Amino acid sequence: MKTRIKQIIKYEKNVKSFVEGTFDSKRVLQDIFQLKSIKENKLPLKNMLLGVKDIINVDGHPTKCGSNLPEKLFEGKQASCVSRLLKAGAILTGKTVTAEFAISDPGETRNPRNLEHSPGGSSSGSAATVAAGFCDIAIGTQTSGSVIRPAGYCGVVGYKPSFGRIDIDGVIPFSKSMDHIGLFTKDLETLELVTPVIVKHWNTQKINSNKNLVLGIPDGDYLNLAKKDVLNQFVESTQKLENQFLFKRIKLVQNISKINHDLDQIILAELYRVHSKWYNEFRELYKPLSRKNIEIGKTISDKNLEVLLKKAKNFQFKIQELFKDHNIDVWIAPVAPNLAPKGLQSTGDYSMNSIWSYTGLPVITIPTGVNNKNLPYSIQIVGEFGKDEDLLFISKCIEKIIGERNLLNQWDL
């Protein structure tokens, strides 16, 4: 463990995944020492290093939300998801960098695969700290694509649960209708250890599936978002699965841009309602993109928000019917239209993620390769609502065939 701590000390200055002052090597080693006498069968996550996105409350650490607003505004009880992980033996390593209020203004975190590129966001630090090997587990949040996309960009496992299956108490909200707590882990085996600890009513019984699993390809307007090289790599990956799975190409949606626009309207309307009092007092302390998005949310009336939420609910039912009508077990698609963008000005394109937040479906991301700049290709595997256990089982089957296990050793630090 001392070697890993030395690794963080040596390389964190390049990655900048932790909020300054929250990683304390002496505290981490002391916490590990205190667990030394407890048997591992009582602590399923014993000595696993944990990062927590800095919009989530953790006892003993201020929540700053990547913002210049006064920290006292965000004080509150420790998030129950954090408490569960710590109780299971995880060791808090540090608070991880977030885009301001999990919106769009990025922090200084860099992608460990290629330091000239973004790690994605808004859960930038959580994805990067796992990709760099600093943490085994990190907690993030997703309102549009803030877990799945950075996991893909950084080449780690990402998991966004079905809406509501991980409690979001202790989180500074973005959108109460769309916010999800999510996880980044170094591999699916680690995710399998974490889910029973943090996901409500997780069924640990092994799933035995003798039937031919059906993978849905979301054809048409949605898949057409992917750029040529991303789509080519996706096709190569799926071809390797053809002997083990059945495929069905199905038009997922008539107009993905309209779905994404509706989601944006919902989350920005609810963002304004969260921030209205703070914004009136501290407007000049907000960063530019946060101000812009809050101002947009201010223009959306309660009546329009109600209409948008009803549309979302109807579409959620429609997607669930697609699963049943076509006997689909999971959808499979690229994580994003392109690979991690160069520079830190943008957290990337979430247009292929938003629909899964909009519908509340569970998603797991796995890396499938890298390009000549060491930037990861990844896929997102999307399950039926509430069937997160099945999704993990199927993801493990897929990962055995096309997963890229060597990414953990491919740093650019």
212-252: per-residue pLDDT in tens? 899 999 999 999 999 999 999 999 999 999 999 999 999 99
DSSP string, 30-53: HHHHHTTTS-GGG-TTTT-EEEEE
144: annotated active-site residue: no
Percent composition of the chain: helix, strand, coil (DSSP 3-state, to 5) = 40, 15, 40
The pLDDT value recorded for residue 41 is 79
Going by C-alpha positions, the residue among 224, 151, 225, 220 that lies closest to residue 191 is: 151
Provide the sign of the torsion angle of the four alpha carbons 387, 85, 96, 171, taken in this order.
Answer: positive
**Stretch 51-71: mean pLDDT, rounded?**
98
> pLDDT digit string (tens) for 141-166?
999 999 999 999 999 999 999 999 99
Q: Single out the catalytic residue among 146, 357, 378, 395.
A: 146
According to CATH, the topology of domain 1-212+331-413 is Amidase signature (AS) enzymes (3.90.1300)
Provide the sign of the torsion angle of the four alpha carbons 288, 169, 83, 122, taken in this order.
Answer: negative
Instruction: Please state, in angstroms and rounded to a whole number, the distance separating the CA atoms of residues 227 and 368.
Output: 16
- Three-state DSSP at 381 gives strand
Whether this prediction's pTM lies above 0.95 is answered by yes
53: annotated active-site residue: yes
36: annotated active-site residue: no
Structure tokens at 246: 């059945």
Could you state, in order of their start, the residue ranges of all structural domains in the chain? 1-212+331-413, 258-303
Q: Single out the catalytic residue among 16, 53, 95, 160.
A: 53
> pLDDT digit string (tens) for 73-99?
999 999 999 999 999 999 999 999 999
CA–CA distance from 318 to each of 221, 312, 315, 325 (Å)?
17, 10, 5, 10
**Does residue 33 have a pLDDT over 80?**
yes
Q: Single out the catalytic residue among 118, 122, 162, 237.
A: 122
- pLDDT above 90: percentage of residues in the chain: 93
